[in-house]
Amino acid sequence: MRRHLNTLYVTTEGAWLRKDGANIVMEVNGETRARLPVHMLGGLVCLGRVMVSPPLLGYCAEQGITVSYLSMHGRFLARVEGPASGNVLLRREQYRRTDDPTRCAQIVQNILLGKLHNQRAVLGRGLRDHADKLTGDDKTALSHAHKRLDRIMDKVQSETSLDVLRGLEGEAAQSYFGVFDHLIRATETSLRFKGRSRRPPMDAVNALLSFLYTLLTHDCRSALESVGLDPAVGFLHRDRPGRPSLALDLLEEFRPLLADRLALSLINLKQVTAKDFQTMDNGAVLLKEDSRKIVLTAYQERKREDLRHVFLNEKAPIGLFPFLQAQLMARHLRGDLDGYPPFLWK
């Protein structure tokens, strides 16, 4: 079993990261603020104006630690990584599969079944956990959306057209996010959810979701690279220059648990409130710097929680699940598994 490694997030503006032996040292204005052994890390993410010394970049590349740069508001900018170590035969099979509509659709089916199952779980948990606080309209809307996702899952299981499967995903997303606001218990008007908006997010909930999706995409991409798959060539998401399509495929199964559910918990437990967001001149809503630290801490804590993997029938930290799914994807492409078993949240 692979050891679960941490991702180091550096959010301090003006921080300078350097190598000292086998350690990462963070300095601010010439003063040492932190020191961490490199062997504990699986990734390094720099948010905002954070500088990394060339020796440290080279050492991270040698150790297989990807260094990612995000804007101060969480938008992906760039990655620095070592030589690609993927198995060429595995990648060639990945490329052949994406070019075969029938075999590609089989994988897309299972990815969507995992995503829809986990979206249903979020709605079901909301109905159970807040049964005494939900109004009659809330319960009705959530129940209808839950049943609609059931019907869409039935269609996905019998569909073989990639275009139709992608259309069903869009239909499911519309139904799911159409009732997402019913799961929010906050009374602040600025924390209401009126629908998904991206690039840029136009309200606080979308800002929180987008930030969490960015973090999760980083983890999914690293997991795929670690097993030798090409994160840029996906099955559900079409190829596009600069887009990690396979990482976005893998992301779909984990959005409900590691992003949507976590966002709801942060808002409903008042760990994140309206004052944690700022509105820009163009109407975009973004997390403030100190608030990003709150979200990052909660995200890391969630990843440390143990959960039983349904297919493998063993417990592991949630943060290890993207790697487990990447392994299962690779095993399927090699022919060791008849189908790709998606992540199912129980």
Confidence at 55, pLDDT banded by 50, 70, 90:
very high
- Does the structure show a pLDDT above 60 at 1? no
- Does the structure show a pLDDT above 70 at 5? no
DSSP E strand stretches across 169-270: none
User: Out of 3.20.20.140, 3.30.920.30, 1.20.120.920, 1.10.3720.10, which CATH number does the structure's domain 88-334 have?
Assistant: 1.20.120.920
Per-residue pLDDT tens digits for 276-321: 888 887 878 888 888 888 998 999 889 888 899 999 888 888 888 9
Per-residue pLDDT tens digits for 23-51: 999 998 888 988 888 887 877 888 788 89
Q: Given this model, what pLDDT does residue 131 score?
A: 67
Give the total residue count for the chain. Answer: 346
> Cα–Cα distances in Å, from 266 out to 88, 294, 306?
42, 9, 19
- Does the structure show a pLDDT above 80 at 18? yes
Q: Given this model, what pLDDT does residue 2 score?
A: 47
Residue 241: other Cβ atoms inside 10 A: 5
Instruction: Determine whether the annotation assigns residue 93 to a binding site.
Output: no
Per-residue pLDDT tens digits for 175-193: 999 999 889 888 888 888 8
Q: In the structure encoding, which two tokens stand for residue 93, read together?
A: 């099979």
Instruction: Determine whether the annotation assigns residue 159 to a binding site.
Output: no
Confidence at 344, pLDDT banded by 50, 70, 90:
very high
Name which of 19, 83, 81, 90 is nearest 53 in CA terms.
Answer: 19
CATH of domain 6-80: 3.100.10.20
Q: How far apart are CA 339 and CA 346, in angstroms?
A: 20
Q: How far apart are CA 267 and CA 262, in angstroms?
A: 9
Instruction: Determine whether the annotation assigns residue 169 to a binding site.
Output: yes
Per-residue pLDDT tens digits for 70-125: 776 666 777 787 766 557 889 999 999 999 999 999 999 999 999 999 999 999 88
- Rounded to two decimals, the pTM is 0.81
Average pLDDT, the chain: 87
* Range picked from 2-6, 158-162, 281-285 for highest mean pLDDT: 158-162
Q: What is the mean pLDDT of residues 266-279?
A: 90
Q: In the structure encoding, which two tokens stand for residue 333, read together?
A: 């492409």
- Can you give the residue ranges of every domain in the chain? 6-80, 88-334
Confidence at 4, pLDDT banded by 50, 70, 90:
low
Q: Given this model, what pLDDT does residue 187 score?
A: 81
